[in-house]
Amino acid sequence: MSAKVRVTINGRTVEVPAGTLVTDAARAAEVHIPVFCSHAKLPPLGACRICLVEIGLPRKDRDGKPVLGADGGPEIAWNPKPQTGCTTPVSEGMVVATDSPVAVKARKGTMEFLLVNHPLDCPVCDEGGECQLQDLAFAFGADFSRMSDAKRTFVSENLGPVVKKEANRCIVCMRCVRYCDEIMGEDALTPHRRGVRTEISSFDRQPLDCEQCGNCVEVCPVGALTALPYRFKARPWDLRQHITICPWCSNGCSVRLGVRGTEILRARGTERRGVNQEYLCVRGRFGYGFVNDAARLTGALVRPPGAAGAGNALEPASFEEAVAHAAARLREIAARDGADAIAFLGGEKLGLEEQYLFQKLARAVLGTNHVDSRTRLVAPLPGTAFLKATGGGRPSISLDELGRTKEVLVLGDDLQGESPFLQAVLLRGQHQQGVHLTVAHPRRVKLARARFGGVWLGLAPGSELALLNGLTRAALDLGDPLPAPSGGPPPAEVAAGLPALRTALAAWTPERAAQATGVPAAAIVAAARRLREAPSRAIVFGRAYAEHAQAAALLQAVENLGWATGALTAGRSCVLYAGPHSGTQGALDMGLAPDVLPGYVPLADAAARAPFEKQWNAKLGAAPGLTAPEILAAAAAGRVKALWIVGDEWVRSAPDRALVEQALARAELVIVSDLFLTETARRAHVVFPAVSFAEKEGVLVDCERRLQRTARALAPRRGAKSDGEIFQAVARALGAAWSYRTNEDVFREIARLVPGYEGLSWATLLPLGPQWASEPARVAASLRPAADERPAAGEGLWLLSGGVLFQQGSLGHRIELLTRLAGAACARFHPDEWKRLGLTAGDAVLLEGPGGSLTLPVAVDESVPPGAVFVPYAHRDVELNRLGSPGGAGLRVKASKAGIAQRTGV
């Protein structure tokens, strides 16, 4: 794209793209220029002046020709003053000196200025030992101070539960303020006053009202901002650092765990590494406490056979006894009722290799196809549904490129709660790359705020399908699906389905869509036009659609929209599914779904099945098994008699609480492997103690389908086994000849066998693995009318639910800081609804759904639309599945005032 220029730095000549900054060119020339205020993700500022260098350009005569010096080379006109390297772009023939007397003196002078008021408290400063100011003062500064006056002092403050501010140490580089503004979109920090009295703090020195991500602490080059949870815990040299992948969502951020002894003391981002490059959200940065939780399981538990009943408690057993017991019972049930009486659930939090072994255990060893990782599904979905909606495995774009697309449509998810890094990518893109955001969500979520310049399509709850159909129709009105930039037409299936889709969508005029959704017709047409006509575009959806009662129709509608707008065809565009867990994509890839084998190989296809049968030395059933919601129903009805639930709090994640209780009570054998004795584990017959993400190595596949290695930071908790070991032990007890020594052995088998993963090895996944892609697509595309005419169950208010930033899953409840930040779970109402129900602050409300009821404290919230109630699902006290399973377009509940607030749930 841009032309290359030659620049000479300290005598080394390098060729870099025009417009590169001097500091970056110096990195290419392997010359070190110190920086404080400059940051790879932020635009240049030039605040700290430590990067002063001497810069010269070739002298030109009147005709613009370079003047030649005595030695025949071009004569250099040195700028009389040193310039900041971090703000000066290079140009052809530029000469830079970082070691000339002028540059050295300038740097030394700047360092002296920076240290004028900096306290000499490095021994008690948490940054000491990894402080850039300390390092550079050591490298460039004087060993004494000429300043004899008293230093100016500020009072230290706790800015909320995460950030400790010691303004005396601040060098006013503005990194924190800019990061908070441009990447987090929070603007929680600001400089107060000016000149030497400048101090970074919050509005009126209040505790920070923000995402509490701690990225300000991360980017602070000195010890002015430090993390309270890590305060005085250790010095940097105490810590062994292990870079692994964060377990909290599907974005796949690299996280650097600092371990002292057997304890994780902190988690940090990794500068210039991983998809996230230093960014971490509050969960990733402070959500590691469960690893060292004292309540972790340290041994297997078995419920003695025979005497079924309430008095029959789980008893500690050796791992071998538990394995033998589980295998014997599985064999017994398989012999008596057939393998179809056994079902395998969960696995979205496992590594790729363990997911592979889990379904291999089910299919090859036991012979059942009842395998599903998607325990939260409300309605059955084929295992290929998500891949199909996101392009069938065709090459996609990375999260980094997503931040440079021009138009992004976010469907249904509050990314702040579900995928915080994805939100940061989009906010940064909006701020720095001109990304335009369109957010279709019933609530005005953070991304839809006016200051981010996007458009909020505030659709009525339950009208998601109508909006998608309206958008697709409006996009198709602008023309047929676009060809790929390489000139190739869209797949034949797309062209084939087009006429039928057009006919079906003929009724979905913008006006009708507007009537159904409450979004103005003009806004729908404009959004479709922006998507179709932008040079690059992306559509993002997540669990809100996946766990919708109309998921099948919605995913088809997303795919229709993807083809109609070109998000699935055109270059630099994509449709992205941001799943809920770190292993969601991997579980789908590894065939943790009842109808597909690893690599989305359909079970029904005998030829495609053959390599698996050969490798696994087993005959595989061709008939698809049951999906998670079907397994739930079958177990509750007593048809499925044995369940193996791995890493999943099924009692909470299944869509219907009454049904799941019944299923667990009726099942003859429930095997649970988990870190803790969860509610589900309490109802099990065999409990295996599993290890956490920090205690095992393997591969995770993130939402952009990127494979990344995870590393082992700790030895496994005594008594706990990795899930892979557990599966292998049971498989061997059942007579299978498994002999994997490590997860790497398993990955070799995957790379040999699974389409899309060919040729990969652990060695190719460092430092950042590739995004797997498959051409031709793993799953054929289709354009098909998407409709679902079932009415919503119940009457009354629409129940809106969603993730919140500070809680996710049952592990989040184990982390004191996150629980405290999340606060009490409240049912949130629009002011109108609040008035109609006659609520006052401190009240509680009774929500009655088709399956049961919940009592919750209330809060007023203008972002919730009238006619709905918002309840976050991740809080410990909220067990939304007690309300029953949503039907049709969503769940409706009756709300009534229920006196004063009290805690509910278990």
Partner 1 sequence: MSGAPAPHTAPAGPVGPVAWPSALQPKVAEALSHYPNRRSAVLPLLWIAQREWGWLPPEVLRLVARTVELPDAEVFGVATFYTMFNLKPVGKYHLQVCMTLSCSLMGADRLFQHLSGRLGIGHGETTPDGRFTLRRVECLAACGGGPCLQVNEEKFHENLDEAAVDRLLERLP
Partner 2 sequence: MIKELATGLGVTLGQFFKKPVTLQYPNEKLVMFPRFRGLHILARHEDGLERCVGCELCAVACPADAIFVKAAENDPDRPSSHGERYAERYEINMLRCIFCGMCEEACPEDAIFLEKDYELADYRREAFIYTKDELLVGEEKAGYLPVR
Shortest distance, position 68 Cβ to partner 2, whole Å: 55
Q: Which two tokens stand for residue 854?
A: 């919940």
Q: How far apart are CA 572 and CA 538, in angstroms?
A: 8
Of 124 and 313, CB closest to partner 2: 124
207: contact with partner 1 by CB under 8 A = no
Of 236 and 624, CB closest to partner 2: 236
At 285, which helix (H) or strand (E)? helix 282-286
Please choose, from the candidates 43, 242, 226, 195, the residue with its C-alpha nearest in 3D space to the C-alpha of residue 693: 242
**Of the candidates 72, 101, 123, 309, which one interacts with partner 2 according to CB under 8 A?**
123
**Of the candidates 202, 584, 710, 774, which one interacts with partner 1 according to CB under 8 A?**
202
Shortest distance, position 525 Cβ to partner 2, whole Å: 59
Of 126 and 697, CB closest to partner 2: 126
Q: What angle do CA 489, 490, 495 make, to 5 degrees?
A: 105
Of 157 and 493, CB closest to partner 1: 157
Residue owning tokens 């033998």: 324
Q: How far apart are CA 413 and CA 71, in angstroms?
A: 66
Shortest distance, position 259 Cβ to partner 2, whole Å: 14
**Of the candidates 17, 46, 109, 128, which one interacts with partner 2 according to CB under 8 A?**
128
**Of the candidates 15, 99, 135, 187, which one interacts with partner 1 according to CB under 8 A?**
187
Task: Pick one of partner 2, partner 1, none as the site partner of residue 189 (Cβ within 5 to 8 A by kind).
Answer: partner 1
Question: Max Cα separation, the chain?
Answer: 102
143: contact with partner 2 by CB under 8 A = no
450: contact with partner 1 by CB under 8 A = yes
Q: How far apart are CA 469 and CA 507, in angstroms?
A: 10
Q: Other CB atoms closer than 10 Å to residue 331's CB: what's the count?
A: 14
30: contact with partner 2 by CB under 8 A = no
Of 203 and 232, CB closest to partner 2: 232
Query: DSSP state, 898?
Result: E
Q: Stretches 187-195, 411-419, 494-502, 527-535: which one binds partner 1 (CB under 8 A)?
A: 187-195
Residue owning tokens 């998500």: 386
Shortest distance, position 269 Cβ to partner 2, whole Å: 24
Task: Pick one of partner 1, partner 2, none as the site partner of residue 17 (Cβ within 5 to 8 A by kind).
Answer: none
Angle of helix 492-505 relative to helix 464-476, nearest 10 degrees? 110
Of 93 and 191, CB closest to partner 1: 191
203: contact with partner 1 by CB under 8 A = yes
188: contact with partner 1 by CB under 8 A = yes
Of 178 and 374, CB closest to partner 1: 178
Task: Pick one of partner 2, partner 1, none as the site partner of residue 204 (Cβ within 5 to 8 A by kind).
Answer: partner 1
**Of the candidates 59, 60, 233, 682, which one interacts with partner 2 according to CB under 8 A?**
233
Sequence-ordered list of residues with C-beta below 8 angstroms from that of 335, at least 6 positions apart, any chain: none
**Of the candidates 99, 187, 197, 232, which one interacts with partner 2 according to CB under 8 A?**
232
862: contact with partner 1 by CB under 8 A = no
Q: Stretches 198-206, 575-583, 628-636, 778-786: which one binds partner 1 (CB under 8 A)?
A: 198-206
Task: Pick one of partner 1, partner 2, none as the site partner of residue 450 (Cβ within 5 to 8 A by kind).
Answer: partner 1
**Of the candidates 105, 231, 614, 790, which one interacts with partner 2 according to CB under 8 A?**
231
On whether the CB atoms of residues 432 and 405 are closer than 8 A, the answer is no
Task: Pick one of partner 1, partner 2, none as the site partner of residue 233 (Cβ within 5 to 8 A by kind).
Answer: partner 2
Q: How far apart are CA 429 and CA 431, in angstroms?
A: 5
Shortest distance, position 200 Cβ to partner 1, whole Å: 9
Of 60 and 192, CB closest to partner 1: 192
CA 86 to chain centre: 32
Q: Stretches 39-47, 230-238, 325-333, 416-424: which one binds partner 2 (CB under 8 A)?
A: 230-238
3-state secondary structure of 143: coil
238: contact with partner 2 by CB under 8 A = yes
Q: Which residues pair with 264 in a beta bridge?
A: 259
Of 237 and 900, CB closest to partner 2: 237
Strands 642-646, 342-346: pairing is: parallel
Of 188 and 558, CB closest to partner 1: 188
Of 164 and 283, CB closest to partner 2: 164
Task: Pick one of partner 2, partner 1, none as the site partner of residue 123 (Cβ within 5 to 8 A by kind).
Answer: partner 2
Shortest distance, position 160 Cβ to partner 2, whole Å: 17
237: contact with partner 2 by CB under 8 A = yes
Whole-Å CA distances, 645 to 349, 649, 681, 684, 795: 12, 8, 9, 9, 34
Please choose, from the candidates 189, 116, 195, the residue with its C-alpha nearest in 3D space to the C-alpha of residue 159: 189
Helices (H), 120-274: 132-140, 175-182, 215-219
Reading phi first (left if > 0) and then psi (alpha if -120 to 50, else beta), residue 160 is in left
On whether the CB atoms of residues 61 and 68 are closer than 8 A, the answer is no
Sequence-ordered list of residues with C-beta below 8 angstroms from that of 218, at least 6 positions apart, any chain: 268, 269, 278, 280, 285
Whole-Å CA distances, 171 to 110, 193, 225, 255: 11, 14, 11, 27
What φ, ψ does residue 839 adopt, rounded to 5°?
-85, 150
What φ, ψ does residue 362 adopt, rounded to 5°?
-65, -50
Q: How far apart are CA 174 and CA 225, in angstroms?
A: 12
Of 166 and 186, CB closest to partner 2: 166
Binding region for partner 1 (CB under 8 A):
181, 187-194, 202-204, 450-451
Binding region for partner 2 (CB under 8 A):
121, 123-124, 128-129, 231-235, 237-238
